[in-house]
Structure 1
Amino acid sequence: MRYGALTTPARPLVESALLAALGALFILVAFYVPLLGMFATLISPLPTAFVVIRHGVRWGVLSSFVTLAVLFPFLSPITAITLMTVYGTMGVALGYSVRRSLPAERTIGLMTGASMVGVAVDMLGAYLVTGLTLPQLAEQTAKVFNEVFEISHRITGGNPALEGMMQTVTPEMIMRTLPAGFLLGSLFLAWVNYEVVRRVLPRFGYTVEPLRPFSRWIMPEATGHVWLLAFVGLQLSPFYAEKLPFLAVVVDNVLPMAMLVLLLDAASALCFFLLRSGFAGGVAGLFTSMAVFMALSSPLLGFGVQLFGMIDVLFDLRRVRYPELSDI
């Protein structure tokens, strides 16, 4: 990490207050201005992160409370607390990671944990303000999926695999897999915010390590073992689902997450081998995207892709973890 434009001496209290006001402005724009709101949402954790980078976690938390106080006159208390929790926790996690020069993977992991806290508070706020319960949220989500499927069906025609998948999208199934969706949604939000902020911080003199190129992504070895156990557990679920319902719910949540992780790993491996074969980056990306779409459209092909991803995770076909072994 290097220091640039923000190295002029300043009292932490004054600087934290100014950045808190800026953070409140970003949140208000995200809440009230539809067009600029999306961009403001992506950079809302930045002011808190700056405070943590420059002055530590204590000042970052204090700045978050100041931001909350600024928001109270413009938003309802519950809405202000909800928004500040979402962006404040992510800002503290990001600032702490940059201050400690943590690698990108750990930074996104911390931001994911912070995002999960924020999303939980957001759901609690929605319940307190509107009375929206989790079963009602699951029912609304199922309706959205069905509407999207109907639009896709009218545009692209019938897809037997997609139709079969949509038959399983019920409010009951969404409630069962809510933890998996909760975690994956938080991870996606953390990754998007990280990629945006990573490109902004260098303009102020701070460097943030990027993720390794997609063709060099490799997932933890434990993912392959977890996928195997969850897949076997799914096949055996008729024998224990009634006696051990909690175990069935665990399998229903773990298996989709493991499947998605192995799909990403397989896509990364395919991109790697295409690039090594001499394909241009754009062409390799296009072919990889087409392969992912085909895997999502065909259960049999999707299962084969998961097997390939599991083999790469367990045996490191690309020698990403131990590159020195490629010479053996």
Structure 2
Amino acid sequence: MASFMNTRSLAEGAVIAGITAVLGLLGMFIPPLFLIISILMPIPLAVLVRRTDLRVAVLSLLVTGLLMMVLYPDPLQVLVMFIQFGPLGLVLGLLYKNYVSAGHALAAASLVATIASVAVIMLAVLVSGLSLEMLQSMANDILDKAFDFYRQAGTPLTPDQQQFYREGIKTSILLLPAVWIVSAVVSTAISYIVGCRVLKRLNYKVNVLPPFNRWRMPWYSIWGLIVGFLCVVIGQQFGLTILKVVGQNILTVFALAFFVLGLSVVAYYYQRLPFSRPFRVFLLILLIFYISLMYIGIVLLGVFDATFNLRRPRLKSENK
């Protein structure tokens, strides 16, 4: 019986390896599909861990990597996908298998996705030799050509306008790691939700995320903002550019996280407004149109909610 079960598990692992390899190859051969593939790719592996065990899943992951190496001409790109989605699939499966609460599971999976993203960035830097300074130089060359085009067209930009665009590009390049990490976390959250739905269809018990208006972050998450702020201040004070850039990226990631938390608080109280439906719709439209102006306020609202749990009194009364 044990031999039969092992054989069945290995057969499932082989099937999952094939499915995962096909998904990965589709994402690499058809770049427009990569966004969807990045969400789906960890799920077969996670389901395999939940159905069998970690050893079978690791073997399946190795087979997936070998298949993709054989079928795709760029081993480096295969390695990047292997790093980015392999460990995440294994961790998601373990979280499902051990029935970890949705909040803790999402935090753990996001941490793994962040580490994988940092590893991919470091690998890209080591292999290609790219640096932020090189990207900045390339961006300035492109801007110079654009400015020359406008000048030849008879609508030259003023020095202040040119400086504004240069500073905007410089800031965007410096914050590329934060953008990469945030996109990885968002993709992980969607993967977790989709994985929950797949496992529920397979009649497995899973912990699903609470409604958006009940999302919370632990109080100690504010240390992310504190550490980021300290890195920026120390970097500016002592001329440590790398430390300053690291702090800016940390601040960007945690500010976005607290922005989402602030929106959760807004959604919670918005649903409880004692106003008519047309007025509620009007308020929602105002929020959408002016959300960029209210960004800092919503971030601060998220920070206060993480610290003081602004919704606790009402939740206690509602649960009675």
How far off is 1:60 after superposition? Answer: 1.4
Q: Which amino acid aligns with 1:169?
A: G
Q: CA deviation at 1:134?
A: 3.4
Greater displacement, 14-23 / 31-40: 31-40
In the alignment, the residues of structure 2 paired with residue 101 and residue 17 of structure 1 have an alpha-carbon distance, to the nearest angstrom, of 25
What is the one-letter code of the residue matched to 2:169? Answer: T
Give the Cα–Cα distance (whole angstroms) in 1 for the partners of residues 276 and 95 of structure 2.
34
Asked whether the 8 Å contact 2:39–2:188 carries over to 1, the reply is no
Q: Which of residues 269, 273, 276 in structure 1 aligns to 2:272?
A: 276
Is 2:52 aligned against 1:59?
A: no
Rg (Cα) greater in structure: 2
Amino acid at match of 1:66: V
Q: How does 1:95-174 map to 2 (within 5 A)?
A: 95-123=93-121, 126=124, 131=128, 133-135=130-132, 136=134, 168-171=167-170, 173-174=171-172
Matching of residues 163-312 of structure 1 within 5 Å = 168-171=167-170, 173-174=171-172, 176-224=174-222, 227=225, 237=233, 241-243=236-238, 245=240, 248-277=244-273, 287=283, 290-291=286-287, 294-296=290-292, 298=293, 301-312=294-305
Pairwise CA distance, 1:284: 6.5
What code does the residue aligned with 1:106 have? H
Is 1:71 the equivalent of 2:68? yes
Q: What CA distance in whole angstroms lies between the structure 2 residues aligned with 1:35 and 1:179?
A: 21
TM-score normalised by structure 1 residue count: 0.72
Q: 1:77 to 1:179 in 2, by over 3 A?
A: closer
Alignment partners' CA distance in 1, 2:231 and 2:141: 29
Match of 2:21 in 1: 24
Q: Which residue type is aligned with residue 134 of structure 1?
A: S
Partner SS, residue 70 of structure 2 = coil
User: What CA deviation, in whole Å up to 9, does each residue of 1:220-273 have, x standing for no partner?
Assistant: 223446546766886xx4x97242636644542333233223322221111111
- Please state whether the residue corresponding to 1:317 is helix, strand or coil: coil
Matches of 2:227 and 2:60 in 1, distance apart? 45
1:157 equivalent in structure 2: none
Cα offsets for 1:112-160 (capped at 9, x unmatched): 233234434544565577x36132456778999xxxxxxxxxxxxxxxx
Structure 1 gap segments, 5+ residues each:
1-7, 145-162
Single out whichever of 105-114 and 22-31 deviates more from structure 2. Answer: 105-114
Amino acid at match of 1:112: S
Letter paired with 1:15: E
Structure 2 residue identity aligned to 1:260: L
State the identity as a percent: 23
Quick check: 1:86–1:114 contact (8 Å CA) kept in 2?
Answer: no
Gaps of 5+ in 2: 143-161
Q: Aligned residue pairs: how many?
A: 295
CA distance in 2: counterparts of 1:220 and 1:10, whole angstroms: 44
Alpha-carbon displacement from aligned partner over 1:13-58 (angstroms, at most 9, x marks no partner): 2221221112111211222245655444422112211221122222
Task: Please give the alpha-carbon distance, in whole angstroms, between the structure 1 residues aligned to 2:115 and 2:62.
Answer: 16
Distance 1:32 1:304, change over 3 A: closer
Contact 1:142 1:174 in 2 (8 A): no
TM-score of the superposition, structure 2-length normalised?
Answer: 0.73
Range that drifts further, 257-266 or 243-252: 243-252
Distance 2:163 2:274 in 1: 38
Aligned-pair Cα RMSD in Å? 4.1
Change (3 A) 1:272 1:249: same
Contact in 2 for aligned 1:215/1:272 (Cα 8 Å): yes
Rounded Cα–Cα distance in structure 1 between residues aligned with 2:222 and 2:185: 20
Q: What's the secondary structure of 2:59's corresponding residue?
A: helix
Q: Could you say if the C-alpha distance between residues 124 and 102 of structure 1 is closer, same or farther in structure 2, counting changes exceeding 3 Å?
A: same
Q: Cα deviation per residue 1:91-112 (whole Å; 9 max; x = unaligned)? A: 1011111001112222222322
